[in-house]
Structure 1
Amino acid sequence: MALRETLGTVGGILSLAAAFWLVVLPSDSTMIFATVGVLVLGLVASTFLRGNPAVFAAASVLGWFSVMFAQPFALTTREINALRRVANRGDEQAEALLAYYEVMTPYAPYLMLALTVIILGMFGYGMARGRLTVFHNMLDASNGLATFLTRVGVTAAVVLLSALIFAIMYDVIQRQYLGYNPQWTRTDWYRMFSATRVQEMEWHLHAALFLFCLGYAYVKDAHVRIELVRDTLRPRTRVWIELAGCLLFMVPYCYVVMQYGIENAMRSWNIGEGSAAQTGLPNRFVIKAMLPLGFALIALAGMSVALKCMVYLFGPPSLKSQSNYYAYSHQNPAPPEESELPPQAQAR
């Protein structure tokens, strides 16, 4: 059983790797179809071999996102025209791709819908192991995602915040030293770590720190809330609002930001974009890539919260105390009967 679950987890990790590769491949690459196949096969393996619930949930949501981003069955008119120009020069690979897209484009919406149904069906089947066990799987997936996001947030806080503090201290010390020794600006060291570069590195680190901690803050319920209204509602109503917010607002918003963020980062990579300042940092694509990555983390946080809300709303009473995190608040804590673990949960 342990080997089976390990192989299922490896399948989920493979799907995550394929999802990442899918979004960075050019749309006219022949590898895009094989990558979609690897993604789906990895999800199938994770579904039937019962991989780690958190890895499986992450692979499902990010795999679906990557398929929607890549649009592997259709190209835009501009991309088709560019591919046709290459094919007219006698490129056999371009001719094969052009023939493929011309055949598949009319059916692209239906094929994308079919892939969506397949991924959703595999997710439902992977979680469903009997009426009681399905909620245990959902809760395990939620807790696993929350643990991962917590580790990412804490690691980012330690590493990036330490680097940010060091950069600020160095910037201040160097500015003071230049008042005593203006010739320092002519050294190779200053050219490497000029005031412009250090200041740009400060906001790069700050932006990355903020983005990496977004998901961590949400699973810890640390974002600002308007408690004046929320505290007057019943616990189930609060959870319904949380669930609706995740599915109707957070996931679509993350999708839009990730889609345009990936496109923006890829464009920056292709043109070799650097700082607008002559002495600034090169490789601007690095910080631009942090935006879709940060929103991928908060999409996983939304997945974690939504799963926990579903367990609270539809799961058995024995799991209520483990899934009531978003039913209450710091000002309005859970009653004793819902704040203590029941014997079933303790035994588990």
Structure 2
Amino acid sequence: MNTSLKIISKIIDILGNLCSLLMLLMIANVFYDVIMRYFFNDVSIGMQELEWHLFAAMFMFGIAYTLKEDAHVRVDIFYDVMSAKKKAVINIFGSVALALPITLLILYYGYDYALEAYSMGEGSGDPGGLPHRWIVRSVIPLASCFLVLAILHVILSNIQILRGIPTLGVHNKYKNQGEL
């Protein structure tokens, strides 16, 4: 199980690094767009659309990394005072009953959504816009696949917590708390 966790962790960490790169590209794109617009009175629809596409990819891929790092938003009123094993049970239940079904649903419909855009050669409706809209649409099913991996990481990590086995990553912060 540790080997699987390490592999999944490495994949999602690489994804986190990709998100950092996408953020830098988006910042450079916005900087270029602002300079061109306000100093040279030159507007590029394609560059504006690229901003949206980079942001969408960064956000969608970042969801899996955020989940793996346990940095997502949750209501901590009750969760903070629970033992590590109770937290593990809640995390497993939330992953299996809530996160996984919606992720698989998004993957299922996102695949058709991206495939349809590719099949019809969909591009931007605006003159000067980006020609291949299927690229940004394919981020939806691809990000869903990574999110399934992150959910698997959460489940395996929390199973190890329940078994009392030292775990990798952020879940170590729970190991010194009380029992179930």
Q: Does 1:152 align with 2:1?
A: no
CA deviations on 1:306-348 (whole Å, 9 max, x unpaired) are 01111221x3x4x2x32695485xxxx54389xxxxxxxxxxx
What secondary structure does 1:322 align onto?
coil
Percent of aligned pairs with the same residue? 26
> C-alpha displacement at 1:142, in angstroms?
1.6
Equivalence for 1:230: 79
Rounded Cα–Cα distance in structure 2 between residues aligned with 1:323 and 1:200:
39
1:1-348 matched pairs, under 5 angstroms: 138-157=1-20, 159-179=21-41, 194-313=43-162, 315=163, 317=164, 319=165, 321-322=166-167, 325-326=170-171, 334-335=175-176
Shift in CA distance, 203/264, structure 1 to aligned 2, threshold 3 Å: same
Rounded Cα–Cα distance in structure 2 between residues aligned with 1:139 and 1:291:
29
> C-alpha displacement at 1:153, in angstroms?
1.0
Higher relative contact order, chain-length normalized (CA < 8 Å, sep 6+): 2
Rounded Cα–Cα distance in structure 1 between residues aligned with 2:28 and 2:84:
45
Rounded Cα–Cα distance in structure 2 between residues aligned with 1:226 and 1:209:
24
Query: Are the aligned partners of 1:143 and 1:304 in contact in 2 as well (CA < 8 Å)?
Result: no
Query: Are the aligned partners of 1:240 and 1:309 in contact in 2 as well (CA < 8 Å)?
Result: yes
Query: Are the aligned partners of 1:312 and 1:323 in contact in 2 as well (CA < 8 Å)?
Result: no
> C-alpha displacement at 1:139, in angstroms?
2.4
The amino acid across from 2:128 in the alignment is T
> C-alpha displacement at 1:222, in angstroms?
1.1
Give me the TM-score of the superposition, normalised by structure 2.
Answer: 0.89
Query: Are the aligned partners of 1:146 and 1:216 in contact in 2 as well (CA < 8 Å)?
Result: no
The amino acid across from 2:11 in the alignment is F
Shift in CA distance, 334/312, structure 1 to aligned 2, threshold 3 Å: closer
Task: Flag the structure with larger Rg.
Answer: 1
RMSD, aligned CA: 2.3
Query: Are the aligned partners of 2:9 and 2:153 in contact in 1 as well (CA < 8 Å)?
Result: yes
Shift in CA distance, 288/336, structure 1 to aligned 2, threshold 3 Å: closer
Query: Are the aligned partners of 2:68 and 2:154 in contact in 1 as well (CA < 8 Å)?
Result: yes
Query: Are the aligned partners of 1:153 and 1:213 in contact in 2 as well (CA < 8 Å)?
Result: yes
The amino acid across from 2:36 in the alignment is Q
Rounded Cα–Cα distance in structure 2 between residues aligned with 1:246 and 1:277:
40
Rounded Cα–Cα distance in structure 2 between residues aligned with 1:261 and 1:294:
10
Shift in CA distance, 156/231, structure 1 to aligned 2, threshold 3 Å: closer
Query: Are the aligned partners of 2:100 and 2:151 in contact in 1 as well (CA < 8 Å)?
Result: yes
* Structure 2 gaps, min length 5: none
